[in-house]
């Protein structure tokens, strides 16, 4: 089965901030499965998805959420796949809440947290994980880095 990456977000209102993740995976030819589910509003769906994700062929799961952002942690609790958390801005304290909620995971259940609204970096981190045993992705990553180099 070809490796896939899941992109989860806590609300339909998160779509614009998470769009760079799917766009970046697309650039690398990696299939993204984008879904809205919430640690608070649909916890059973989150548990079901996360606990079966490895068997469904996912290689990594990107989770974006704002405010009391528990989505990445709730997913990480149910899978040994790598989980990448994207704290999203918005709300009364504009991302400080989601940053701390996403990054401050208890010992034993890691979430690789990127910057607030860092959806592109979340996707690049997933690509780098997939590149561990994929030389074509290594080359694509190197080409991308070289495009980003200021000239
Ligand atoms: C989080 O609460 C979502 O990820 C979203 O960023 C935030 C607000 O959600 P909405 O009230 O806009 O649906 O769970």
pLDDT band of 1, cuts 50, 70, 90: low
Instruction: Give the residue carrying structure tokens 């548990």.
Output: 47
Tell which CATH architecture fits domain 4-148. 3-Layer(aba) Sandwich (3.40)
pLDDT category, 112, cuts 50, 70, 90? very high
Chain position carrying tokens 């070289």: 146
pLDDT, residue 2, reads 65
Average pLDDT over residues 120-145: 98
Q: What is the mean pLDDT of residues 59-87?
A: 98
Query: Average pLDDT in the 118-145 region?
Result: 98
* Structural domain boundaries in the chain: 4-148
150 pLDDT above the threshold of 90: no
Using a 6 Å cutoff on CB, does residue 88 contact ligand 1? yes
Average pLDDT over residues 54-71: 98
Q: What CA–CA distance (Å, rounded) separates 151 from 147?
A: 9
Query: How high is the pLDDT of residue 143?
Result: 97
| pLDDT above 90: percentage of residues in the chain | 96
Q: Any idea which of 38-42, 96-100, 112-116, 147-151 has the lowest mean pLDDT?
A: 147-151
Q: Is the CB of 43 under 6 A from ligand 1?
A: no
pTM above 0.95, yes or no: yes
Ligand 1: centre distance to CA 10 (Å):
6
Crossing angle for the helix pair 119-130 and 135-148, nearest 10 degrees? 140
Q: What is the mean pLDDT of residues 57-78?
A: 98
Closest by CA position to 125, among listed 3, 34, 2, 5? 5
Q: Is any atom of ligand 1 closer than 6 Å to the C-beta of 90?
A: yes
How far apart CA 128 and CA 79 sit, in angstroms, is: 20
């Amino acid at each position: 089965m070809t490796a896939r990456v899941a992109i989860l977000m806590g609300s339909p209102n998160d779509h614009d901030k998470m769009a760079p993740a799917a766009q970046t995976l697309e650039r690398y030819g990696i299939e993204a499965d984008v879904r809205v589910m919430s640690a608070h509003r649909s916890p059973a769906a989150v548990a079901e998805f996360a606990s079966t994700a490895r068997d469904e062929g996912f290689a990594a799961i990107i989770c974006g959420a704002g405010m009391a952002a528990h989505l990445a942690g709730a997913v990480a609790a149910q899978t040994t796949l790598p989980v990448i958390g994207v704290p999203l801005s918005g709300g009364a304290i504009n991302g400080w809440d989601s940053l701390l909620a996403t990054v401050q995971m208890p010992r034993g259940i890691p979430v690789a947290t990127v910057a607030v609204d860092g959806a592109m970096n979340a996707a690049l981190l997933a690509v780098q994980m997939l590149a561990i045993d994929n030389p074509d992705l290594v080359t694509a990553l190197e080409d991308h880095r070289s495009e980003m180099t200021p000239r």
